[in-house]
Chain A
């Protein structure tokens, strides 16, 4: 390996690394989007909000940061409702801070750090900047606990009809033994699915985590981290730089689902009973005692989902609705498009879910100019399309209700079988509602309801001052180590320094590519990596020196030095690597952060010390005609004699 051609490899790797790291140092654009409702405010109020922003701006960012903001001092035009901030080193904490400080002006969820061309090219716009953990910049931590009881009751609904059928089959004396066996095993299968093993719980939590990840991405919140806490059946969400955001919490917890359920067959016996009773009450002049009126009251008084559920269950008892059916409220607007969405009547739907949200994807809200309302169109998955076709062909003439969360939002009659896998939901939506519904369909609903177990503001483990000083100290330390290496090993030291620098650059690029979040222990891991990289070179040089002292020719001494040191370096690094991998597997939080940097650091160290250093060294000795290699410190070293 003494060819100049091999030099292409390090240069190539360096070029790629620098490209990946570029967004960290580039001038970037940040869009701070102004809330829509601000434009509707009286001018005086707009002025107050804008002034507040720019006062803070002048105080906090104006002088030292080198950031610029456009337009300055006024509200941006309505057609381009955003401020553009240009600057280097725009961090998530700062972005979130600006939004939080100006909540009534800025729409937090729409702020966007414009991707640089590199990010657009290789990541499809996904960020490539190094992320800082909560311990370095502070933020909010929310722990959400999965409610598995609720989950099982939902599952039971899903299988309700099949369960009754199976039981009937079993009880029926005319059923063949063979079929009975089949029914039995199917029954057991379904029942086992209600039994949540820890493994199942993790799987459900994983699904929930993915959905939360998605939701946070569409929020454009910078660098959220979501992880599962197995011990507590909980999901932990860390939001760096966010100090308190109720809106985000609501989005995280939203367990709304979308599903299709068939209504009871025509004539509507049960619905009829309820309607008859309501009419009777109305006739008696007791409008405020009708069930629908009571239910509306619950909604208006924000009694909460639980109270609503209990009310509906009460109705089921009152009217003796059989177990296979469930009472829902049909929600709609009043006469004008601006009136509130409220429950208007009751419908009785099959408990069995005919088509669930998992069968639908790719939803888009759109404005329907014919009915002057918003609607949502979506695609069905191949499996869903088949189910939908079967459903619509077998149930012609029946009503198919679309249930969003616990609201029936539309209840059309099935006229013809629907094939093709596209469908739409029209209800009396506002734009916001249509977008929300589309999001629920596209991202999927949370499989399990989540409740907030813990929510707290986390301060950074270190203050800003310490980080600044610390970074400076580490940089000075590095610099001194490099000087020392040159002082001690002269040309060898220079080569070692070169490979150390390359090592750190590759490592940084690797970590960036993997979306690693840098924490304080992570930094410790990098420091250890650097230490071990220097050590590898020290071991090699001591070996080379020994060979020279034994009187070997320089080029042979170099080769033998590397060969002798090879297994020592391998052993040391592989052992540490094993320890590191174990830490990643078993550890969490701080231990994991440390171990990840350490493990990748070992990989880069092995490459740079065993390949790069050697390449540089051999090229120097064999190709560049360096015949004397003095690996002794200046001043102290005795003159080395080498045989050419």
Chain B
């Protein structure tokens, strides 16, 4: 049996995590002024165009990148080379100035953002009118409502988990699990903000998945700790934690590994639009595993220490 002292570094890992979370949020809000804009959350412009056969997704993405327009390019139909272009609200000014650069003869005066964007596209790609299949200014699919529901949901879920785990095992494990879950969510949100990943429906799915994974992971570790602490009051709690983590380490590594296989397959497979989803999930699995060992377990130990001090 391996004998690693996992809890030795508890103050380091706890402050390290706290630092990363704060740093992530500071960068997000100070440097970028918040999370990235996305069509799903903020609304924006959406057009569907049929491009000439020689134009590819890379051409489109290259064009938008060079012009500094935030765009998501989705290939809708391969055979007909039909693309859906989603433009975030953040790029409206850029589009307006580009529109003003179009030679007068080639543009009709227009005030609506979506019209301007369509004219810009048609000018750049020499598209006849009928190749622009649809153009809408769309509202958010999810958004304010979801954020609100999300927070309520998270808090209620945490409360229920606290209750269930307190009844099933001990309050310290319940508390530690809940804090670790919050840690995982915050950490992932910090990453999403830090890298300015566009929040979207797939990203929500990834967050929910990592939440489920993380709960699972914590319970497995804590169940073992609880089992090992039966009738061993004389043993230092940190020892029990270390032994338990070592005992479940094989399982932890195996499960993280198998979960990551599927996620990595998506990243390597090259489904462009699923890349963010897989990336966040991959990070989430790592954070979830890390937090079971280095956040949840130490917190339960600290709680234990504080309580014992009080009663001595």
Contact = CB atoms under 8 A, between A and B. Distances in A.
Interface in A40-74: 59-60
A127 to B, nearest CB: 25
Interface in B183-242: 200-202, 204-206, 208-209, 211-213, 215-216, 219-220, 223-224, 227
A305 to B, nearest CB: 28
Given A135-B201, A463-B74, A576-B215, A480 B255 contact: no
Given A462-B271, A466-B74, 16 more contacts: A243-B134, A459-B84, A464-B76, A478-B262, A485-B258, A521-B208, A523-B205, A525-B209, A534-B255, A571-B219, A572-B215, A583-B157, A583-B208, A588-B149, A589-B146, A591-B150
A575 interface: yes
Top 8 A-B pairs, shortest CB-CB distance: A477-B262, A473-B269, A477-B265, A524-B205, A469-B271, A521-B205, A463-B75, A463-B74
A463 B56 CA distance: 14
A61 to B, nearest CB: 10
Interface residues of B, number: 74
Interface in A526-563: 527-528, 530-532, 534-535, 538-539, 542, 546
Nearest to B254: A538
Contacts of A520: 201-202, 205
A579 interface: yes
Contact of B76 (A460, A470, A474, A578): A460
A568 B224 contact: yes
A611 interface: no
A481 B146 contact: no
Contact of B209 (A461, A467, A527, A588): A527
B272 interface: yes
Contacts of B202: 461-462, 520-521, 524
A133 to B, nearest CB: 10
Contact of A524 (B40, B76, B79, B208): B208
A474 B255 contact: no
A382 interface: no
A531 B205 contact: no
A464 B164 contact: no
A46 B277 CA distance: 49
B209 A572 contact: no
A331 interface: no
A310 interface: no
Contacts of A473: 262, 265-266, 268-269, 271, 274
Given A461-B200, A572-B215, A488 B259 contact: no
A534 B259 CA distance: 9
B102 interface: no
Contacts of B258: 481, 484-485, 531, 534-535, 538
Nearest to A598: B212
Contacts of B277: 524
B304 interface: no
A521 B211 CA distance: 13
Interface string A569-582: 00111111011101
B153 A477 contact: no
Interface stretch (B16-24, B104-112, B137-145): B137-145
B46 interface: yes
Interface of B: 40, 46, 48, 74-80, 83-84, 86, 134, 136, 138-139, 141-142, 145-146, 149-150, 152-153, 156-157, 160-161, 164-165, 168-169, 200-202, 204-206, 208-209, 211-213, 215-216, 219-220, 223-224, 227, 247-248, 250-251, 254-255, 257-259, 261-266, 268-274, 277
Output the residue of A60, A564, A590, A594 with the most chain B CB within 10 A. A590
A22 B37 CA distance: 43
Nearest to A64: B79
Contacts of B216: 532, 535, 572-573, 575-576
Given A534-B255, A539-B220, A586 B156 contact: yes
A524 B277 CA distance: 9
Nearest to B264: A477
A481 B160 CA distance: 32
B273 to A, nearest CB: 4
Contact of B269 (A460, A470, A523, A575): A470
Interface in A452-495: 454, 456-467, 469-470, 472-474, 476-478, 480-481, 484-485, 488
Interface in A487-508: 488
Output the residue of B75, B80, B219, B250 with the most chain A CB within 10 A. B219
B261 A477 contact: yes
B271 A575 contact: no
A240 interface: no
A474 B265 contact: yes
Given A534-B258, A579-B160, A590-B204, A524 B209 contact: yes
Nearest to A467: B271
Given A465-B75, A473-B265, A579-B160, A521 B215 contact: no
A72 to B, nearest CB: 20
Given A454-B139, A574-B164, A594 B205 contact: yes
A482 to B, nearest CB: 9
Contact of B77 (A464, A535, A571): A464
A531 B224 contact: no
Nearest to B157: A579
A138 interface: yes
A474 B250 CA distance: 24
B153 A480 contact: no
Contact of A59 (B40, B79, B213): B79
Given A469-B269, A575-B215, A578-B164, A456 B149 contact: no
A469 B80 CA distance: 18
Contacts of B257: 484
A591 B46 CA distance: 24
A256 to B, nearest CB: 30
A599 B204 CA distance: 17
